[in-house]
Structure 1
Amino acid sequence: MPDGYDRDRENCDPNERGRIFENGTYRYFRDRENGYIQQSRLHEVRNVGNVKFDKIREDPGRTFTIEDKSGRIEGKKDEKQLTVVRTLLERNEGHHHLLRSVDGETISSRAQKLIDGLTRDFPDRFTHQIISREDAREIWARGLEKEPSPQLELPGVGEQARLQKQRQREARQQAKEREERARVEREAEQARTREDNRDQAKPAVARELTDPAPKAKDVREREEAQAREMNDPGRSTVQKELLEIKREGRESQREDIAREIDITRGQEAPTRPAEPQRTREQEREIALARAIQERANARALAIENGLSREMMGILGLNSDGPPKMIDVDNARTRAEAERDRSIHQKRERSERQREGRHRGD
């Protein structure tokens, strides 16, 4: 159960607790009158570490240090300090150290083992002084006397400031929601525009197919240009396959529309000729070419819609290496799960910090 000493310190963070207790012991034990000064110098110990003590007194050939602990003694920081104390006592016979702690406060098993070893090995130069909780309350009261007095707050001023901060937070949240709605509306409008453009492109292709006098010269010129590109010795196999895929895509679209026109006229739709058999290596290169083209199209669409670089990275659109199959839904699910996990970890760290401030020095 919390006692008076616990209640005295419950509204202070660890740094405040350590400062108030140190100032209180300085008065209670008359450390200044005994020659000690606060804010001691840094003790550098080779191969062990560096540490500062709360108080120090230096006499010719001798050094006296004091460390005041108002609460728990545990963790790497306290254990390192005790390890440094041992090294200083081993290397300097003129060094003396006093550790003060409060009765009933937790001392970890590792720290207690270090304290017991110092008491055993250096009985005349290491002292562990345990302060009763009643004396600790008196020390705390004396330390509070050195704290600056809190400024008085005019009635209603604090509440008005809190309300103003809350209104500002709500305004920022509303602005964020408006921006999100506007973004969704823009994306929807862009999607409708692209769909309209595709719908408008089909009649143009159909007119070209049904025109009794097609532009044969233009068709020949395009086919000749495509043939030159295909026969260019500087192009790789993948680039040539990509050109072939584009050509096949255009031809497939023309055949589909022509078939629809024939069906509309009551004619039997011609069957598409069987594709020539390809080797496994050819199939692999064609699949790779298709994947490259699909990634390029997806990257252009993402840039057009303002997709962030982070999300483009998740979808695999920032890489120029050999593309992999992209599962957008799975990538989005993993990104959301990672975001939720990060939020959960931040909450846990925040909770641990609050508990540390409640229990710490």
Structure 2
Amino acid sequence: MPDGYDASRRNLSNYEKGLYFELGRAQIRDETPDRGWVKQFEIRIGHEQDRRRFDSARTDGQGVRSVERKSGRVNESDARGQLGLEREALDSGQLTHSTWETVEGEKVPDKVLGDMQELERDFPGQFRHEIVSRADAARAIQLGQSLMSKQLELIRAYELTRADRARKRLEKIREIVRVREEKAREREKEQREKVAELAKARERAEKFERMQQFREAAARGRVEAPQRVQAERDRQAEKAKARAPETERERVQREAAERAIREFPFPAPNQTRDREAADAATVEREDKARAEREAAKERERESAKTLEELNRARDAAFGHLDEGGRLSEAERLAWSGQAHHPRAAVLEPPGHAPSVERGGTGQGQDRARGISRER
């Protein structure tokens, strides 16, 4: 018939049943961390170093004092294996005391009971099997649940605090990384600016060096030009002497040339620059005059083009009137006898005005003479 112990275990998983029973019984027996007790304590036993984990244990001199608790039905195979390791540990001294707790009314296999009795007989005072009443077991489960809820609250608060610390630490790390990245970008920018400035300075230095070389070459050329001219003259003179003996006339010409060189030496660099400036001014004047002539020619071409357009327009107008029969005989004669538009005299380019003879045009005189002769 179900009792309070069964009611306390209802709706719990096997893991929760064993956990709450262990926590409650450990609290009842003062098996607390303050007294040196540790949950799920593990030792290695024998030459094969088999592992044996106890529900609760603490050190006892050179060995270990342990407690094993079973809240429900005991599994025969697992329990006998654990008891066998404990026998070996008690025999070697690794285990000084061992206590097994089972709940009243819960099934314990006979072989397991027999192994525990043998251990009590072989190790008196070191091994003990204790049967917990169902009421004490129910009270232990209730106490274990209460302890677990408090531990969960503590764990939850601890986890929240730890999460908050982790969040703040992450924010600090991100801020540090951001500052480092900004500094790295600033360093890269400064490095690029320095490289660009060095490139500009190098370019300016190269330009200055080329200009200096050009100036030096020009100066050397101005200084060496008279010497080269004199050397060329001397070379030509030597060739002339080698070709044929100097005649009286050649001697006189040579002496005159030498005298002219002595009296009128090669112009100094300043004179050369003045001459170059004068030549440049002359070239500029010639270019300006050439541009003016080109502009005058362009104006003449525009005037001729305009005159041609006026003549075509006049011919088209007279032709249209002639086709419509609205042109009189006098207008037709004027049209056929006038070679240019009346505004031609105004549009005639400068310097190309038509000549005017006394007595009218040559054509008119010829017609008059022709008529008088016929008469």
Report the TM range for the smaller structure's normalisation: 0.3 to 0.5
The higher relative CO (CA closer than 8 Å, separation ≥ 6) is in 1
Q: Which has the larger radius of gyration?
A: 2
> TM-score, normalising length from structure 1?
0.39
